[in-house]
Structure 1
Amino acid sequence: MTTTNNSMGSLEPIDIEKDAGSDYAHLTNTTIRSFGWRNITVTVKDRQTKMPKNILCDVDGIVKAGEILALMGPSGSGKTTLLNVLAHREATPNATVKQSLYLNGTKTSLRDFRKISSYVEQEDALVGSLTVRETLYFAAQLSLPSSVTKSERIARINSLIAAFGLQNQSETLIGTPIRKGVSGGQKRRVSVASQLITSPNILFLDEPTSGLDSAASFEVMSFVRNIAKKHKLLVIASIHQPSTATFELFDKLLLLSHGKVAYSGPIADVKEYFGGLGFQVPLYTNPAEYIIQLVNTDFSRDQEKATGQLEHIQSSWANSDNAARNIQEIEMEASDTLLDAKLEDHGSANSFLIPFTLIHRSFIKSYRDVVAYGIRIAMYMGLAIMMGTVWLRLDTEQKNIQAFTNAIFFGGAFMSFMAVAYIPAFLEDRQIFIKERLNGLYGPTAFIISNFIIGLPYLFIIAVLFSIIAYWLSNFRPDAEGFWIWVMWLFLDLVAAESLVVLLSNLVPIFVIALAATAFANGLWMSVGGFMVQPETLNVFWRYVFHYMDYQGYVFRGMMVNEFGKRTYSCGTDCHCMYPSELEAQCRIDGKAILATYGFNTGDISKYVGYMLLITLGYRLLGWLVMFLRKH
């Protein structure tokens, strides 16, 4: 089921020069004063001992409107798991989760969170060939309801661009491996801004400073802090060893180690609290770095001492007045009015129009990003020139019949094989889909439909350009009908091959493995298609299990009928015909006699086309099913 993010408000037009971002506000009357959680426990089965293992254990905490909470801890402490639980996402595969989440002291549900929260992934899954403004434009198109007018959308985009200091970069590309774009810090700001387009009340950030230097990290978090303070957002961010300046931008800290809380409270009280436990933060030392080292036992030389110290810190917190005060604070936030009665549903983006929005975005990407189709077109043109010059101007003599057959097989099979070049572009699109799906924007149906449609014109262009070069240079049947039928088969071949790439890349979304799987599949189709071994003599297993579902085989049949069905060939000077036919007395070979040796019938063309369409549809439906069943 496709879900969409709901808008919680709109922006009024502003004077950017006067007050950048001052109208980042909510239309809704819903006020989220606090977000709290009690006794969060996540349990998985240990791979070695097969016994239950706690990734998180009885984690409590609270953050209030306008505050920024830092989730910190050593690697493996459970930061990302906790962030996912708080955001109502899957904590970790095959985990058992116990949780109590509260908005304004009232238990909440996934439906509530879809209305009021947004999540910024650790990786910047952005379309590199879009500008900053276009990125925010498409975020608005995919998430805002139709009730928000065009002028309101433009005002909201302008507000965010100004609020995040991106005015000078608004028309700059995000950046691709080939074309340089905005800086890393600016890219992170765009990622955050694109999630603020719906004016959420709660913002989750997974490692927002990952991959950034200290200056860029401070820059990004400063913009987030300004937005949070001005418009009463609740921000929860997992972060790894921030600089002192960045650390001090946060209001609260939740420190984890081995899934348990070591501290949960104001940043301003960190030094005093740990000093009271006997761990005084040295002068001129980054307190964030010091306390993480304090609760990190992974690299300690004396594991027994380090473990004892950590247990002392964790038990001290669990029994402290501060921990009890957090629990009281959550309970005190309980509202007299049920939250569900106060949440307003302002609608969602029109699900019917979402595929068109995705097609529009993909179209811009396809002509700007040469990796998507430009490089593939160049590759196919190179293949066309090679094929045309190797099989250059073949005469219609019987000695060239095998060469014509080889050229037909080569053209169809290798055009299909080279579809592996689409894997990187598809995996990039898939990563963006995963991010947007998890944020509730759309589901696999809209993605598969738009992905299929946007590829059709480019694949047709590739088929035509390849044929213009290879078909005429090789001297295939020299008439317009023969040319366009060849183009049709090549187009169907490419569509099926790309659909196979979509299926296999969804099954194994790792580039090297997807590449190997696609190459293996194409090798299989080449082997059982009917050229290497004729269908009648093909091993029973390969014939009945794979041959009849081999799209390359139907392309080969169609092209063979196109070439030999309406053409004759000279038997040579000695008039010894290799293929007996009714034209043998004229010292010629009827092309249908060649088709008969393969068992091909000229009347089966429409049936072959139907099989190709069914195979393509099957690949796409299977690809959709894989995406539907996978939640990440």
Structure 2
Amino acid sequence: MTISKKEMSGEVDVDELMEAMESNNTNVDKNIISVRPQETVATTSDSSSKDAYSLVGQDLVWSGVGLRLLEKKNGGDTKLHILKDVWGKAEAGKTTAIMGASGAGKTSLFQTLAGRIPSSGKLRSEGDIFLGGARFDPTQRDQRKLIAYVSQEDALQESSTPREAIYFSARLRLPKRVSDEECTEIVNAILTELGLDDAADTLIGGGFNKGISGGEKRRVSIGVELVAKPTLIFLDEPTSGLDSFAAAQVMKLLSRVAHHGSTVLFTIHQPSSNIFGTFDRLILLNKGRVMHQGEVANLARDFEQYGYPVPNQYNPADWVIDIAQGITLEELEKAHFFASAPDNLLLAARKEDAAETVETPQDEHVSMWTEFVMLQNREMADLRRNPAFIVISIVVTGILSLIFGVIFFDIGRQDRSEYTVIQSQLGAVVNVLISTMMGQSNPAMLTFSKDRPVFLREFSTDHYTVIPYFLSKLWREMFNTLIATLSQALVIYWMMGFQMSFGQLFAITYALSLTATAVAVMLGACFDDVQNALTLFTLVVVPQFFFSGLFIAIELIPSWVSWAQYVCSLTYAARLGFAYEFADCEPGDAAANCAAVLAANNVDKDSTWWYWLALLGLFVMFRGFGALILRYKATY
């Protein structure tokens, strides 16, 4: 469809609209937020509460930014120019919106400037970026600390309150020298500025758990980033999923933050005229190129000069997208859209007194112990506020244990001189072990998948390192597994009449559960989609039934695959169970039958210490691989 210039008559008074929007903005208490662009604000241990929270904005300028999709990984010809010679500026003290139709490249530009598209694989990025007059490389982890990144989805801990979520971010991201009392002052200031005082101690919630509203969640997401005093605030679709009122509240908040000095850059898709009027600057992309860039207040004048005036009573945001989509590139170029970058763009951005590259603060980060304590406290709070998981686990485990107990009732006390009894006792041990391994793995994988977005956000912004996170999750899994396996052992031990001690049965099932959950977490770290992890988990676990020797003698398995028995946790758990259950049988036929069971399963009664060591080694190995994979997958 082609839109004629004749049909595009009329104007909209954008200046009047901007003045009306500005008159609705509330004044900001400067004692709460003190924003000083183009300078560094230091927080000392004796800072007053008035200076507890401050923001620092600096101009972000870029030129020649390109993003190419290559034919082959790490090389080859260019298959597609996603971005081509893109230039622009986000000024301190102003909000800058990146807009464009689907496929225009706005997300690609945004992610490139945020350092979240690495120049590797089939993607190759290029260009010059300056921040505050110095060269800026957002792909470098230390320089990316200057960016507050708010994703489109609110990745927040559902069982935390806004106060707890913001304090968690403050304590882990502010320098070690900032005291807990100062962190509290900063959190209180941010809660007030975000308008979250009334909801500060309400659970964030999510899913089936009722909590704060969507607009309040978005403000919390902004708050956990503002607490780090970022130089740049990047927001991906900040109004996505919000109703018109909540979206307007969020944009007013961003305008207040920006107009007091900070640098705010965001992507947005066809906002309402009310929201569009709150923007200071607009970057309009089309097919990976800059179609238009400038002050929103001058938009009507600029588009009239292009020959496409904004009609009366027409949303300017809709109009610019309609022009981008409805007019051919050739006609747009003839109308003098797609202007080249000014010759002095980088010259003006490069300050003589600025450092060669952006210098980042070298404040001492909190200790790894503090990271662990904060993570552990959050896990404890989640456990207290969401006991349903433990309750359901106990109930399900108890019901399954009762079923096993009824089926194998008193089997362990039967006469072992009968070989059918021995086979039934063997089946009882095997079923308990398989049920234990399968029952505890899936919950661990699902829990990790649910928490993954929160981890990726927090890890990418240097809240903590992988080790404290893994240790805090390990403690939680160990507690959950302890409760489940204990409830199972309490039911089946006396119902089945096992000859091994209660402590031995509990220790074996508990160790097997921990190793199985280690495998589940490792697979969960490999995939973004939990369904893929669950599918692969089946392929990893089911073969253990055979390589462990439970259903086929090890010596009958082909030698070229029999080595797999040594990496199967079920192998060692089963051998421990058999060793303890069939080690001391009555003389005669019972002893012979027990010896036959041990021999068929390659069980050496004197090597139980080795089986325990092997289970420990597998647990450490899978946990270690999980941590390494998670660390790799979380790197941008």
Q: TM-score, normalised by structure 2?
A: 0.85
State which drifts further: 379-388 or 118-127: 379-388
Q: Is residue 67 from structure 1 mapped to residue 89 from structure 2 by the alignment?
A: no
Q: Is residue 176 from structure 1 mapped to residue 206 from structure 2 by the alignment?
A: yes
How big is the shift at 1:91?
5.1
How big is the shift at 1:428?
2.2
Matched residue, 2:192: 162
CA shift digits 1:191-242 (9 cap, x unpaired): 0100011111211111111112222211111112212223x11000011111
Matched residue, 1:90: 117
CA shift digits 1:446-467 (9 cap, x unpaired): 3333322332222122211111
Paired residues, what number? 583
How big is the shift at 1:400?
2.7
Counting only pairs closer than 5 Å after superposition, residues 203-602 of structure 1 correspond to structure 2 as: 203-230=233-260, 232-296=261-325, 306-312=328-334, 315-318=336-339, 324=342, 328=344, 331-339=347-355, 344-369=361-386, 373-394=390-411, 395-397=413-415, 398=418, 399-418=420-439, 419-477=441-499, 482-544=501-563, 546-568=564-586, 582-584=587-589, 591-602=594-605
The answer as to whether partners of 2:176 and 2:363 remain within 8 angstroms in 1 is no
The answer as to whether partners of 1:20 and 1:162 remain within 8 angstroms in 2 is no
The answer as to whether partners of 1:88 and 1:113 remain within 8 angstroms in 2 is no
Distance 2:579 2:193 in 1: 64
Matched residue, 2:160: 130
Equivalent position to 2:64, from 24, 39, 49: 39
Secondary structure (helix, strand or coil) at the match of 1:540 reads: coil
Matched residue, 2:41: 27
The answer as to whether partners of 1:372 and 1:422 remain within 8 angstroms in 2 is no
Secondary structure (helix, strand or coil) at the match of 2:63 reads: strand
With over 3 angstroms needed to count, the CA separation of the structure-2 counterparts of 1:343 and 1:624, relative to structure 1, is closer
Distance 1:121 1:88 in 2: 13
Aligned partner letter, 1:296 = Q
Distance 1:600 1:112 in 2: 54
The answer as to whether partners of 2:409 and 2:496 remain within 8 angstroms in 1 is yes
Matched residue, 1:8: none
State which drifts further: 344-353 or 34-43: 344-353
Structure 1 unaligned spans of 5+: 1-16, 298-304, 569-581
How big is the shift at 1:567?
4.2
CA shift digits 1:29-84 (9 cap, x unpaired): 99644221111111112589964421111111112221110011112222122112
Distance 1:112 1:605 in 2: 49
Matched residue, 2:15: none
With over 3 angstroms needed to count, the CA separation of the structure-2 counterparts of 1:188 and 1:461, relative to structure 1, is same
State which drifts further: 182-191 or 109-118: 109-118
The answer as to whether partners of 1:24 and 1:156 remain within 8 angstroms in 2 is no
Secondary structure (helix, strand or coil) at the match of 1:433 reads: helix
With over 3 angstroms needed to count, the CA separation of the structure-2 counterparts of 1:561 and 1:311, relative to structure 1, is farther
Distance 1:117 1:18 in 2: 23
How big is the shift at 1:628?
2.9
With over 3 angstroms needed to count, the CA separation of the structure-2 counterparts of 1:66 and 1:311, relative to structure 1, is same
With over 3 angstroms needed to count, the CA separation of the structure-2 counterparts of 1:214 and 1:330, relative to structure 1, is farther
Matched residue, 2:9: none
Matched residue, 1:144: 174
Distance 1:541 1:627 in 2: 32
State which drifts further: 64-73 or 363-372: 363-372
Distance 2:198 2:237 in 1: 26
How big is the shift at 1:28?
2.6
CA shift digits 1:293-335 (9 cap, x unpaired): 22126xxxxxxx634334446x53315xxx53xx646533543
State which drifts further: 156-165 or 448-457: 448-457
CA shift digits 1:467-524 (9 cap, x unpaired): 10122211112xxx71111111111111111110111112223111111111221111
Q: TM-score, normalised by structure 1?
A: 0.86
Secondary structure (helix, strand or coil) at the match of 1:76 reads: coil
The answer as to whether partners of 1:557 and 1:600 remain within 8 angstroms in 2 is yes
The answer as to whether partners of 1:209 and 1:220 remain within 8 angstroms in 2 is yes
Distance 2:135 2:388 in 1: 47
Distance 2:602 2:131 in 1: 71
State which drifts further: 82-91 or 260-269: 82-91
Secondary structure (helix, strand or coil) at the match of 1:167 reads: coil
The answer as to whether partners of 1:81 and 1:91 remain within 8 angstroms in 2 is no
With over 3 angstroms needed to count, the CA separation of the structure-2 counterparts of 1:76 and 1:371, relative to structure 1, is farther
Distance 1:460 1:429 in 2: 21
Distance 2:385 2:226 in 1: 26
Structure 2 unaligned spans of 5+: 1-26, 44-54
How big is the shift at 1:595?
2.0
Distance 1:317 1:219 in 2: 33
The answer as to whether partners of 2:115 and 2:144 remain within 8 angstroms in 1 is no
The answer as to whether partners of 2:131 and 2:358 remain within 8 angstroms in 1 is no
With over 3 angstroms needed to count, the CA separation of the structure-2 counterparts of 1:31 and 1:548, relative to structure 1, is closer
With over 3 angstroms needed to count, the CA separation of the structure-2 counterparts of 1:50 and 1:342, relative to structure 1, is closer
How big is the shift at 1:105?
2.5
